[in-house]
Amino acid sequence: MTSTVELHRAAAPPPPPAQSKGFGPNGRFPALPRPNLDWTPEVEAATAHLYERVSRVIPPVEWPFHAPYIKAINDLKVVRNAVILAHNYQTPEIYHCVSDYVGDSLQLAKMAASSDADIIVQGGVYFMAETSKILNPDKVVLIPDAEAGCSLAASITGADVRALRAKYPGVPVVAYVNTSAEVKAEVDICCTSSNAVKVVESLGVDRVIMVPDRYLAQNVAAQTRVKIIAWEGACEVHERFTAEEIESYRSDHPGLKVIAHPECPREVVEVSDFAGSTAAMIDYVRTKKPARVLLVTECSMADNIAAETTGTEFVRPCNFCPHMKRITLPRILDSLLYIGKEILVDPAIAERARLSVQRMIDLG
User: What is the binding site for ligand 13P (CB under 6 A)?
Assistant: 88, 104-105, 178, 192-193, 235, 261, 263, 277-278
Judge whether 187 and 356 are in contact, CB under 8 Å.
Answer: yes
* Nearest to ligand 13P of 88, 136 (CB atom): 88
| Partner interacting with residue 120 (select from ligand SF4, ligand 13P, none; CB below 5-8 Å by kind) | none
* Nearest to ligand 13P of 186, 263 (CB atom): 263
| Shortest distance in whole angstroms from residue 261 CB to ligand 13P | 6
* Nearest to ligand 13P of 180, 278 (CB atom): 278
| Shortest distance in whole angstroms from residue 151 CB to ligand SF4 | 5
| Partner interacting with residue 323 (select from ligand 13P, ligand SF4, none; CB below 5-8 Å by kind) | ligand SF4
| Shortest distance in whole angstroms from residue 135 CB to ligand SF4 | 19
* Nearest to ligand 13P of 136, 151 (CB atom): 151
* Nearest to ligand SF4 of 122, 335 (CB atom): 122
| Partner interacting with residue 121 (select from ligand 13P, ligand SF4, none; CB below 5-8 Å by kind) | none
| Shortest distance in whole angstroms from residue 95 CB to ligand SF4 | 15
| Partner interacting with residue 151 (select from ligand SF4, ligand 13P, none; CB below 5-8 Å by kind) | ligand SF4
Rounded to whole angstroms, the Cα distance separating 264 from 345 reads: 30
Judge whether 295 and 259 are in contact, CB under 8 Å.
Answer: yes
| Partner interacting with residue 197 (select from ligand SF4, ligand 13P, none; CB below 5-8 Å by kind) | none
| Shortest distance in whole angstroms from residue 303 CB to ligand SF4 | 15
Give the interface with ligand SF4 as residue ranges (CB under 6 A).
125, 150-152, 178, 235-237, 263, 298, 321, 323-324
R_g of the chain, CA atoms, integer Å: 22
| Partner interacting with residue 236 (select from ligand 13P, ligand SF4, none; CB below 5-8 Å by kind) | ligand SF4
| Shortest distance in whole angstroms from residue 129 CB to ligand 13P | 13
* Nearest to ligand 13P of 47, 107 (CB atom): 107
Closest CA to 223 of 210, 239, 240: 210
| Shortest distance in whole angstroms from residue 88 CB to ligand 13P | 6
* Nearest to ligand 13P of 130, 263 (CB atom): 263
| Partner interacting with residue 193 (select from ligand 13P, ligand SF4, none; CB below 5-8 Å by kind) | ligand 13P
Judge whether 161 and 353 are in contact, CB under 8 Å.
Answer: no
| Partner interacting with residue 105 (select from ligand 13P, ligand SF4, none; CB below 5-8 Å by kind) | ligand 13P
| Shortest distance in whole angstroms from residue 75 CB to ligand 13P | 29
Sign of CA dihedral 224, 220, 257, 97: negative
* Nearest to ligand 13P of 29, 176 (CB atom): 176
